[in-house]
Structure 1
Amino acid sequence: MRTPPILPPPPNLVFNESLSNNQRLRENDNGADALHLQERALFDGIKPWILYKKYRKKGRDLRCVLEGTKTTSTPWTDYGALETWGWQLTQDEEDSDYSHVQEQCTGVDLGDLSAGTSIIWDHLETTEHTTNGKQVPYYATNAEYINVFFPAAGVIMANVNYGPSYKTSQGLGSLDPWPKDAPLPKIKQWSDIVALTWLHLTAATTTGGSHQPQNLRWLFRRIIRNDDTQNVIGYVCKQKKVGQARPKGSTGPPWQAPVWPGLVVRPTESDGGSEGDFFNALLATPNANGVVWLLAQHREQLGWKTVKSIRVWSDLPSSVVYSPSMLLEIGDVVPAGE
């Protein structure tokens, strides 16, 4: 039977309940600071475990989406739909050289990362579309997806990605505050936009037979700032006894990922419960779950793919701002019985 983690005591056991409120405040001049530190210690101890359980459960469902025989499809198969729904394309004229990443990631066959295609999709145009016989405005959300594509190597590098939901919820859309009844563009998910871009780029180069959309092998999520993802990464690393405690004065969760080669987790990795618990939790995090939908909803074009492993690490462990990275290994699903 799995031994549950030891959690910090609840607040009523942390503080001295034998003292009145006034007495507690008079104990020293730094009572408020001490209280804040106690509350943070309590929160830091519980938060990663709670988030881990949440995403572990979601990950089990996502594994079924990836590996199940029942397909799920997206309505977005037309590259031209991006412009129709207000997305503006910026493509660097010069190749993006990520040879330094290739050199850093020793022991992994990434292929040639010296000539990537950097693509930026910005949602800057307000468009109108007919819904139930009425013209409905879809206001610009200022969403931004910045990714680098390496069709020959089979690699996608997701660098900076803030979708319409995030931008409008943070007051960063073209309207502030964002009206409650204002719809977001129908095509808005990172998975759809990246998939359409990948398919477009590979289709443009298949005349020579060198690049195929099914060649997708690796997907990077770099500069991860999402709080939930950071905490789940930290929890898994701590359970696997790798990484380090948060350096004094630094941002991020209480436990942080190690430097390269980091930690590799596969679908069979378990925390003592169901098979693949660590993997499931990482797969469901906000920075990884989009890959599930990219693969599952574009199976016809990409082939039946799954995530074979997830690697997490910290590029700059001494940096004040903690920004771990994630590398997802993509491979073919082997049907049962083969």
Structure 2
Amino acid sequence: MAGDEKRAGNSFKPPKESGESDYQNTNDLKKWGYGAAAWDDYYDLDASLPIKRVLAGLNVDTRTLSEGGNNRCMQLEHKNEVTIDGTTYQPTAAYFTTVFNPTEGVIIAWGSYGAKYQGSKQDPPINVLPKLQNWSDIAWLQWVQIAGDMAKNLRFVFRSPVANTEAQWLISRALERSGKQLSTWPGVEFGMDTDEGKAILSSPNGSGVAYLLLTHKRQLGRKIISKVTVFADDGKKQPRPPSLIYHVVDVPLEEPEGEKEEKVERA
């Protein structure tokens, strides 16, 4: 994540000239059979997505768009049959429910059920899947469509709640190793210099966030994840599943070589 586009490209197998995603045009969503609808009248930040106290703790707006706030909810569904280059792609019923706050740089992935998972549940199962199916590409196309010139402002990416069993196991193991327990806000923080933080970043939920940063350097700049916060939301029904916040920061600017040498000489 910290490197330039060429270094990002070298991390792929086989290596590529650049790590940039193939999906940069917001029209790609419609092209591959996805359709979006505003979801602001169907959720709140008190009960259905109970993270209002968490947002307040991050000094982020706690109001929905319908309340006059900055948090806008969209539901994207893979619901249309399309034919591309002679291949017909049936709708898989994949859906992504996401809250976007470009003013303060927040993406909240509330429900993410991709084409591979949802397609396998259809009768008969759908095996010919749209090439546009990764969360990182889909979230980016929605984000840039909504955020516009503020897209570079990304600071926090939530995965709340975490339903993926592999991610849940990694979170549980990280808490166990650190002698901590899942708790409500302020939760437990793990820096990316810790084994626990790296393990949670390696989860399916974390890798999606990493790829979002890695494959959109030209638009976002060079950004990394500095730490992850593990917490339980404030829902009344217990026990609660874990939730995650990935904290996104700019890569520190490197000093020019001449300035470095001058400082060494002075020292």
What interval of TM-score do these two structures reach, taking the shorter chain for normalisation? 0.7 to 0.9
> What residue is the counterpart of 2:125 in the other structure?
177
> What residue is the counterpart of 1:262 in the other structure?
187
Correspondence list, 1:69-148, <5 A: 69=4, 70-71=7-8, 72-92=19-39, 98=45, 101-105=51-55, 107-111=57-61, 113-114=63-64, 115=69, 116-130=71-85, 135-148=86-99
Structure 2 residue ranges without an equivalent (≥5): 9-18, 257-267
| SS at structure 1 position matched to 2:226 | strand
| Distance across 2 between alignment mates of 1:149 and 1:297 | 19
> What residue is the counterpart of 1:161 in the other structure?
112
Contact 2:53 2:185 in 1 (8 A): no
Match of 1:325 among 243, 248, 252: 243
| SS at structure 2 position matched to 1:67 | coil
Moved more, 187-196 or 104-113: 104-113
Match of 1:221 among 159, 175, 179: 159
Larger Rg: 1
Match of 1:237 among 175, 184, 188: 175
Name the aligned partner's letter for residue 175 of structure 2.
C
| Distance across 2 between alignment mates of 1:79 and 1:290 | 19
| Residues 318 and 86 of structure 1, relative CA distance in 2, 3 Å threshold | closer
Query: What's the CA shift for 1:334?
Result: 1.7
| Distance across 2 between alignment mates of 1:305 and 1:238 | 29
Query: What's the CA shift for 1:337?
Result: 4.7
Q: How many residues align?
A: 236
User: Structure 1 runs of 4+ off > 6 angstroms?
Assistant: none
| Residues 317 and 160 of structure 1, relative CA distance in 2, 3 Å threshold | closer
Contact 1:146 1:158 in 2 (8 A): yes
Contact 1:127 1:138 in 2 (8 A): yes
| Residues 242 and 184 of structure 1, relative CA distance in 2, 3 Å threshold | same
Query: What's the CA shift for 1:113?
Result: 4.5
CA distances 1:294-334 after superposition (whole Å, capped 9, x unpaired): 11111111111111110001225984554111011111012
Structure 1 residue 282 and structure 2 residue 207: aligned? no
Name the aligned partner's letter for residue 304 of structure 1.
R
Query: What's the CA shift for 1:97?
Result: 5.4
TM-score (norm 1): 0.64
Query: What's the CA shift for 1:101?
Result: 2.6
| Residues 200 and 108 of structure 1, relative CA distance in 2, 3 Å threshold | same
| Residues 202 and 320 of structure 1, relative CA distance in 2, 3 Å threshold | closer
Contact 1:258 1:317 in 2 (8 A): no
| Distance across 1 between alignment mates of 2:162 and 2:40 | 27
Name the aligned partner's letter for residue 83 of structure 2.
E
| SS at structure 2 position matched to 1:118 | strand
Percent identity among equivalent residues?
26
| Distance across 2 between alignment mates of 1:223 and 1:189 | 19
| SS at structure 2 position matched to 1:288 | helix
Query: What's the CA shift for 1:290?
Result: 0.5
| Distance across 2 between alignment mates of 1:109 and 1:283 | 24
Contact 1:87 1:122 in 2 (8 A): yes
| Residues 104 and 294 of structure 1, relative CA distance in 2, 3 Å threshold | closer
Query: What's the CA shift for 1:289?
Result: 1.2
| SS at structure 2 position matched to 1:326 | strand
CA distances 1:107-162 after superposition (whole Å, capped 9, x unpaired): 433345442111111001111111xxxx2111111100110101111111110110
TM-score (norm 2): 0.81
Query: What's the CA shift for 1:215?
Result: 0.7
